[in-house]
Amino acid sequence: MLRLLAALFVCIAFGASTVHADGPRSALPPLSSGDAQARYARALSLYSRGQTLLRSGETLRGQQLLDQAIDVLRTVVAVEPRAWVFYSLGQALRMRGDCEAAVVAYRGALALIPREPLEEQAKVALEARTKQQIGDCVTESPVAATPTARPPPVVLQPQQPVVPPPPEPLAVPRATRATRYSLVLPATTAALAVVVAASGGALYAMSSLRYHDLLEDGCGVTQVCSRSSIDGARAIERAAIGLFVLGGAIAAVDVGLWSAWRRH
């Protein structure tokens, strides 16, 4: 474990030395995730090789390795944001000439230092070194030079650190609620069809009783039926037939509603 911590420290110190002085000399704990730790070590290796190529004049290949190191470091930051990972990202961005993004990464490191499992002395050293990098990066010359092998750093006002946002909670689907509410319409329509049909049946039975009473009284057999009594029975019978037709139409509509509800 001590050898691993020492190796990590050497990588951080070597990355910091490419811009100014050595980085913090405190031992840094490993990342919690083994995959993140492996990616972090790979990013440091890419960064070291890239700066070596830049110093030797192989600008194109060196910039490519720096870009790869930055991409890997950003992946590690998204998985496990730690102060020293942000610091390393700032160093790589500054080496590439992007001082604005480097300051954002440095400030991300400052925001996380108080919560890191480090000794107080190590926290103070890392915080002081990070603030120095911010100051040096901000005060670098903003004057644009003619295009060279290595683009000059762009100096802008420092911004607040950009920490990868936590994943948004999944929205509760509303399909269940919509389905439950849509069930009310076909069920209500079915109940209405039953009520209308039952009312038609009741009226039809009433008209049958009226006709039966008229026959018992001899209407149309032994005596002439009064027009009012016959018209009353017919009116009830027609109302019953109308309710039957209406109930059937409502039932047909209800069949369509049930079919749509099942598809939904």
pLDDT of residue 26: 46
Question: Which residue matches tokens 């930051």?
Answer: 77
134-153: average pLDDT: 58
* Token pair for 41: 């070590």
* pTM as predicted: 0.46
| pLDDT tier for residue 174 given thresholds of 50, 70 and 90 | low
pLDDT of residue 172: 46
Q: Say which DSSP state 115 is in.
A: G
Give pLDDT tens digits for 31-80.
888 898 999 999 899 999 988 988 898 889 989 999 999 999 999 999 98
Question: Which residue matches tokens 């950009």?
Answer: 162
218-232: average pLDDT: 67
Give pLDDT tens digits for 195-209.
888 898 888 888 788
pLDDT of residue 29: 81
Strand partners, 219: 223
Give pLDDT tens digits for 98-133.
999 999 999 999 999 999 888 899 889 989 999 999
From residue 188, alpha-carbon distances to 191, 192, 201, 202, 263 in Å are: 5, 6, 20, 21, 18
